[in-house]
A and B are shown apart, each in its own frame.
Chain A
Amino acid sequence: MKIPRLLQAVLVLAGVYFGFIIVFDVILGAVIPASLLAMYMFFTTAGVFMVFTYDEDQTRELVAPIKALVEDPSKRLWRNIVFAIVPLAAGGFTYVQMQPSFEAPLELRTIHPAPPSTAKIYGKRVNLLKLENPLRKIEKEDPEKFRELVNQGAAVYIQNCQYCHGDKLDGNGLYAAGLNPTPLNFQDVGTIAQLQESYLFWRISTGGPGLPKEAAPWISSMPVWQNFLKEDEIWKVILYLYDYTGHRPRSWEHE
């Protein structure tokens, strides 16, 4: 028996919808956000519409049941049922959407605030566009000494940073659950792997209060580490962050 085209389209959409939920929520154990699923389904629907309507005959076949429902006198009962259900469903949907909730409002968080071209760090005006990690060159010049610096950076990290950013640098430290936004996950390919070392130096040194005025208000609880650490300790921590995660700092030159 041939499945009517309208039903085919509905089945395809239902398959895609539940497919996403089964794959992400059940099999992979990583929830697909409702906002993203809504966007995915909107454009999947557009794609299904395109495939089902590019041909005139197939389009007629697709809309035939809808046309019959509206025009065919013998389908009066069904018509009345559908005409009652559709407004009710729309009303129900609107009610659910508009219902007050205790959920905190969603926030579009800016992960990478744009750095200023210069910043005042350790009492000096630093040009962030040109700033480089002074210890980075040791990586090639003296690998043993570099290893020692990374280890020193690790010690600073464990003493100061891991409570929030986690001992695996995955943003899942002991205090992480109490923070919103949660601390950054340095393992993620979208955080330090995308940034120059000068950027990290600026963020660590000046912390939440040093975030730029643009795109305020910020809700970062990152301390101003230049008040607690020495300058070279911050550079060493940066070496450790890249070393442990295996990422390389962003640069425009091939090595």
Chain B
Amino acid sequence: MNGFRPVKIGMTVAIFGLLVSLVSLALPGFEQSAVYAAEPAADAAPSFLYEPAPKLTAADYPTVAGVNSRVVVWVFAQLHLWFAAFVLAVPIFVFIIEVIGMRTRDKRYDDMAYEFIKVSITAYSLTAILGGGLVFSLILFYPHLFTYLSTIFSESMFYYALLFFAESAVLYIYYYGWHWLQGGFKKWVHLTLGLVLNAVGTTLMLLANAWLTFMMSPAGVDAAGVFSGDEWAAVHNFLWNPINLHRFVANIAYGGSIVGAYAAFKFLTAGTRQERAHYDWMGYNANFIAICALLPLPFAGYYLAAEIYAYSQQMGITLMGGIFAWLFIIQAVLIGTLFLSANYYLWCGMGRSDGAKRYTKYIKYIAIVLVGAFLVWFTPHTLVLTNEELKALGGPHHKILGPLGIMPAKNTAVNVMIIFTALSFMFYRRSNKVAVVSWEKAGNAIQVALFSAGLLNIIFLGVYHGYFTNTVYKVAASIPQVLTTLVIIVASITLDSFIYRGAQEVGPLRWGRIPERAQYALFLLAVAFTWLMGLMGYIRSGIRQHWHVVDIMRDASSEAFTPTLGYAANVVSVAAIIFMALVIFIFWIAQVSSAKTLPAGYWKE
């Protein structure tokens, strides 16, 4: 019952937050009074229903002495998002692992799925607490913005609240009923609950995404911000689906990395060989989930960025060519770090098998390609030059390195990194197997041909379309590159499964035989993901610049300016440290919940 108390507190805070927000709509102070009334409606017809977006002044923002309102909202929103991403992702792969367990009838999968959901249950209450904090701070510091948004999204906010109750109810039955709903029909009921949990959780995310994308690409309102009354139009705005896709995939990768860190934590603190073996296996699976979701993530991100450009050139340039471009270099470094640490973990994991020696000789070549692609991936377009270098080059553009700074080179690099990460994974899978099919050599030759042709195609597309065609083809070239990568990965893994059908095992996999260094790679994965999400989240929000709702509702607060990169990075870093501290707390509390003390002589016999 240890996990129940924080859950209750979280629920109470969240419900209270929701009530406050609903009540606030009815309070005179929050009514669309002076600031709204001052603006005549642009369109006479709907004006009796909806007012235009208010034109605010700095005096319309309540202040609390010594408190920076933007930072408070920023940190609450960021912490809430990290936890929300985690608690939405975990049930997705817990569901999949439960299915695998049911199909294979291997109880280890069921136990692992239960342990994953156990970790997320405390995080769930923290998500609610932080969500409550976010609502409080929004109402407190940005009352007019909150009122305007809740006028437009009143229905979806109401359903959000209802779904939140549904999510809680299903989650508790799913978690607390895990051992009760076992075997036969009961297991199917449990699995169905998992499906419902995911459906509700994903719907919650989609609703929240609609509110924030409305602020970026408003729809369902006219130029003055007068709401047309069609909430679906406001929900289904231009950037809604790109964000939905990106967040859905990213959440899975993120959830995988956090439970991977949990497994690493448990591995490092394990007292017995069995425990080490168990948590090594758990860490491997978590890393596998993170990698599976990480591979398509750059494409989802690319789609989002392309849609932002398509929606507004101004926003697109602010994003990638203007003030935020340098954060993209940090993003590139962190994404590269994710790939490197995920690969390193796989290479270290090859030590579990006695047959791995056949493949470890290729690791150095994979590393050379990965690092080479990584260097291209983070080379900035505008270089930081000393005056001497500037003179030596004759200008700020480097004729060799400059072209590496634009998208065609980046796309090529990231596709190569993805393919070689998949190759590392294939070698890992093969390390403990010996193929018995007669056509093994032919199969391997086909795979080599597939990889070679695919890589040549990706590099050709990158170089030709990147440098010898105009921008529209530069953008379009990324699609065949992505398709090539997908074909290579899907075809080679499918072929591999045929080559290794009925394969002999070299020996039992020695779970637990992995260097402790590898566990730090799992930590690095989680930390890099967290920091990355914080920085990119700031960029996504920051490209609105001085607008609450782009081109419709101006931010007139004293904090409307775009902060310096260093300041923004500091805020995100401090938030990331707070998050990490809370995550360590969650890991600890998960451990405490299974610890028992026998107080001799305390209780009456």
Cβ < 8 Å to A, chain B residues 529-551: 545-546, 551
Q: Given the complex, which residues of B lie within 8 Å of A180, measured CB to CB?
A: 387, 390
CB <8 Å contact, B383 and A35: yes
Do B317 and A114 touch (CB < 8 A)?
yes
Contacts of B333 in A (CB 8 A): 39, 43
Q: State the Cβ distance, A201 to closest chain B Cβ, in Å.
A: 13
User: Given contacts A47-B371, A53-B517, A193-B471, is CB(A33)–CB(B384) below 8 Å?
Assistant: yes
Chain A residues, CB < 8 A from B396: 109, 111, 181-182
A191 to B317, CA, bound (A): 12
**Which residues of B sit under 8 angstroms from A190, Cβ to Cβ?**
381, 397, 402-403, 405-406
Contact with B along A27-45 (1 / 0, CB 8 A): 0101111111001100110
B336 in the interface (beta carbon within 8 A): yes
- Assess whether A208 is interfacial by the CB under 8 Å rule: no
Set A24, A182, A188, A199: member contacting B402, Cβ < 8 A:
A188
Interface residues of B (CB under 8 A from A): 310, 312-315, 317-318, 321-323, 325-326, 333, 336, 340, 343-344, 347-348, 350-351, 360, 363-364, 367-368, 370-371, 374-375, 378-390, 392-403, 405-406, 466-467, 470-472, 476, 515, 517, 545-546, 551, 562, 565
Residues of B near A53 (CB, < 8 A) are: 515, 517
Check B515 against A30 for contact (C-beta < 8 Å): no
In the complex, are the beta carbons of B317 and A112 less than 8 A apart? yes
Cα-based distance from A9 to B313 in the complex (angstroms)? 47
Excluding A172-B395, A189-B406, 10 further A-B contacts by CB distance (< 8 Å) are A50-B340, A54-B344, A103-B387, A106-B386, A113-B322, A114-B317, A117-B314, A176-B395, A182-B390, A214-B545
Among B321, B351, B470, contact of A112 (Cβ-Cβ < 8 Å): B321
Q: Indicate if the CB atoms of A33 and B395 lie closer than 8 Å.
A: no
Interface locus among A141-149, A150-158, A245-253: A245-253
Q: A129-B312, A182-B396 are in contact. Are A108 and B562 (CB under 8 A)?
A: no
Interchain nearest-CB distance for B279 vs A (Å): 18
A47 to B364, CA, bound (A): 9
B340's partner among A47, A111, A194, A253 (CB-CB below 8 A) is A47
Cα A194 to Cα B313 with chains together (Å):
11
A99 part of interface (Cβ distance < 8 Å): no
Query: Do B381 and A50 have beta carbons less than 8 Å apart?
Result: no
Q: In whole angstroms, how far apart are the Cα atoms of A152 and B388 in the complex?
A: 38
Within 218-255 of A, Cβ neighbours of B (below 8 Å) are at 247-255
B389 contact set on A, CB distance < 8 A? 31, 33-34
> Does A82 interact with chain B (Cβ within 8 Å)?
no
Contact sample, A vs B, 5 pairs, CB 8 Å cutoff: A43-B336, A43-B374, A47-B368, A111-B396, A251-B471
Q: Complex formed: what's the CA distance from A198 to B314 in Å?
A: 11
Residue of B nearest to A30 (CB): B400
Q: Given A51-B364, A55-B360, A56-B515 in contact, is the A111-B382 Cβ separation under 8 Å?
A: yes
CB neighbours (8 Å) of B317 from chain A are 112-115, 199
Question: Lowest 6 A-B CB distances belong to which pairs?
Answer: A248-B470, A112-B321, A47-B371, A114-B318, A54-B347, A250-B471
The winner among A24, A46, A171, A180 for most chain B CB atoms within 10 A is A46
Q: Is B397 touching A188 in the complex (CB atoms < 8 A)?
A: yes
A133 at the interface (CB under 8 A from B): no
Chain A nearest CB, measured from B377 CB (Å)? 10
- Determine if A33 and B385 form an interchain contact, defined as CB atoms under 8 angstroms apart: yes
Residues of chain A within 8 A (CB-CB) of B517 are 53, 59
Q: Give bound CA distance, A49 to B385, whole Å.
A: 29
Instruction: Report yes or no: A30 in contact with B313, Cβ–Cβ below 8 A.
Output: no
- B393 touches which one: A31, A128, A249 (CB < 8 A)? A31
Bitwise, A175-187 to B at CB < 8 A (1) or not (0) is 0100011100100
Report the nearest B residue to A28, measured CB to CB: B400
The answer on a CB contact under 8 Å between A108 and B326 is: yes
- Residues of B within 8 Å of A40, CB to CB, are 375
Q: Which of A59, A104, A114 contacts B515 (CB 8 A)?
A: A59
Residue A110 at the B interface, CB < 8 A? yes
Set of chain A residues within 8 Å of B470, measured between Cβ atoms: 193, 247-250
Q: Tell me the complex Cα distance, A103–B470, Å.
A: 39
- Residues of chain A in range 107-140 having any CB-CB distance to chain B below 8 Å: 108-117, 128-129
Known contacts A47-B340, A113-B322: A54-B398 contact under CB 8 Å: no
Contact B313 A35, beta carbon cutoff 8 Å: no
CB neighbours (8 Å) of B321 from chain A are 110-112, 114, 194
A128 CB to nearest B CB, Å: 7
Q: Is A215's beta carbon under 8 Å from chain B?
A: yes
Residues of B within 8 A of A28 (CB): 400
**Distance of A2 Cα from B220 Cα, bound (Å):** 72
Given contacts A117-B551, A253-B472, contact A215 B313 (CB under 8 A): no
Q: Tell me, rounded to whole Å, the shortest Cβ–Cβ distance linking B100 to chain A.
A: 28
How distant is the Cα of A46 from the Cα of B347 in the complex, in angstroms?
A: 14
Given contacts A111-B321, A117-B551, A190-B402, contact A103 B310 (CB under 8 A): no
What's the minimum C-beta distance from A230 to chain B, rounded to whole angstroms?
Answer: 25
Q: A110 to chain B: which residues have CB within 8 Å?
A: 321-323, 325, 382
Nearest to B347 among chain A residues (CB) is A54
Contact between chains at A51 and B363 (CB < 8 Å): yes
Cα A47 to Cα B315 in complex, Å, equals 36
B66: min CB distance to chain A, Å: 28
Chain B residues within an 8 Å CB radius of A31: 389, 392-393
Q: Which residues of B contact A46 (CB under 8 A)?
A: 340, 371
- Give which listed residue, B351, B380, B394, B403, contacts A189 with CB less than 8 A: B403
Nearest B residue to A250, CB-CB: B471
CA distance A255 to B476 in the complex (A): 13
CB distance from A153 to the nearest CB of B (A): 19
Q: CA separation between A39 and B379, bound complex, in Å?
A: 9
Question: Distance (Å) between the CB of B342 and the closest chain A CB?
Answer: 11
How many angstroms between the C-alpha atoms of A215 and B336 in the bound complex? 28
| Cβ-defined contact, B313 with A111, below 8 A | no
Q: Is B382 a contact partner of A109 (Cβ separation < 8 A)?
A: yes
Expressed in whole angstroms, the Cα–Cα distance for A172 and B565 within the complex equals 31
CB nearest neighbor in A for B518: A54
CA distance A250 to B310 in the complex (A): 11
Q: By the criterion CB–CB under 8 Å, are B472 and A252 in contact?
A: yes
The distance from the CB of B56 to the nearest CB of chain A, in whole angstroms, is: 18
Contacts of A111 in B (CB 8 A): 321, 381-382, 396
Contacts of B325 in A (CB 8 A): 110
Q: How far is the CA of A254 from the CA of B542 in the complex (A)?
A: 31
B347 in contact with A50 (CB, 8 Å):
yes
Which B residues touch A24, using CB under 8 A? 400
A63 to B138, CA, bound (A): 54
- Of residues 1 through 45 on chain A, the ones whose CB sits less than 8 Å from some CB of chain B are 24, 28, 30-36, 39-40, 43-44
- In the complex, what distance in Å separates the CA atom of A188 from the CA atom of B318? 20
Q: Which residue of A lies closest to B377 (CB)?
A: A43
B360 to chain A: closest residue by CB? A55
Bound-state CA distance A219–B171 (Å) is 57
Q: Which residue of B lies closest to A114 (CB)?
A: B318
- Chain B residues with Cβ below 8 Å from A44 are 371, 375
**Smallest beta-carbon distance B542→chain A, Å:** 10
